[in-house]
Amino acid sequence: MELHVKHLSGSKELQDAAEAAKDYAVTHGLCIKSQTGTPDSVTALPFCLIPSPFPRSVFGRLRSVQVEMNVLMHRVAHDYEFLKNCLENTITTDKFTARLFHIYEEVYRCGFPQPLSLGLFRSDYLLDVGASGLIEGEPVAKQIEINTISSSFGGLTPVLQAQQRHMLGYLGFSNLLPQIPESNSDELLARGIVAAWKAYSSERAAVMFVIEEVTYNVYDQRFIEYAIGRQCPEIRVIRRKFSELHECRLQDGKKLFIDNLEIAVVYYRTSYAPNLMTPKDWEIRLLMEMSLAIKCPSVQYHLAGTKKVQQVLAQPGVLERFFTSKVTIDEIRSFFVGLYSLDLTPEGNRAAARAIEKPNAFVLKPQREGGGNNIYGEDIKNQLVLLKNKKEREGYILMDLISPPLHHNYIVKADTHVDLVEIINEIGIFGVILGDQDDILENYEAGFILRSKKVDSKECGIAAGFGALNSILLV
- 390 assigned to active site: no
Tell me whether residue 400 is annotated as binding.
Answer: yes
Cα–Cα distances in angstroms (integers) from residue 222 to residues 175, 216, 227, 304, in the given order: 33, 12, 9, 27
- 470 assigned to active site: no
- 295 assigned to active site: no
Query: Which H helix or E strand runs over 145?
Result: strand 138-147
- 369 assigned to active site: yes
Tell me whether residue 231 is annotated as binding.
Answer: no
Pick the catalytic residue: 63, 255, 308, 365? 365
Tell me whether residue 277 is annotated as binding.
Answer: no
- 393 assigned to active site: no
Burial pattern 228-249, b for ≥16 Cβ within 10 A else e, equals beeebeebbbebbebebbeebe
Tell me whether residue 451 is annotated as binding.
Answer: yes
Tell me whether residue 372 is annotated as binding.
Answer: yes
Q: How far apart are CA 72 and CA 86, in angstroms?
A: 15
Q: How far apart are CA 269 and CA 266, in angstroms?
A: 10
Alpha helix stretches (DSSP H) within 110-217: 157-170, 185-200
- 145 assigned to active site: yes
Pick the catalytic residue: 370, 413, 457, 458? 370
Tell me whether residue 300 is annotated as binding.
Answer: no
Tell me whether residue 262 is annotated as binding.
Answer: no
Pick the catalytic residue: 63, 307, 308, 381? 307
Contact in structure between 468 and 459 (CB atoms under 8 Å): no
- 61 assigned to active site: no
Pick the catalytic residue: 22, 63, 99, 122? 122
Pick the catalytic residue: 52, 89, 147, 425? 147
Long-range contacts of 171-179 (CB under 8 A, 24+ apart): 171/5, 171/8, 171/17, 171/50, 173/1, 173/4, 173/50, 176/1, 176/51, 176/473, 179/473, 179/474, 179/475
Pick the catalytic residue: 22, 63, 117, 145? 145
Pick the catalytic residue: 152, 403, 443, 452? 152
- 365 assigned to active site: yes
Tell me whether residue 290 is annotated as binding.
Answer: no
Tell me whether residue 371 is annotated as binding.
Answer: yes
- 451 assigned to active site: yes
Pick the catalytic residue: 187, 289, 369, 394? 369
Which residue ranges are tagged as binding site for Mg(2+)? 145, 147, 369
Which residue ranges are tagged as binding site for substrate? 122, 221, 451
Catalogue the active-site residues: 122, 145, 147, 152, 307, 365, 369-370, 451
Which residue ranges are tagged as binding site? 122, 145, 147, 221, 307, 365-374, 376, 399-402, 426, 451, 453, 459
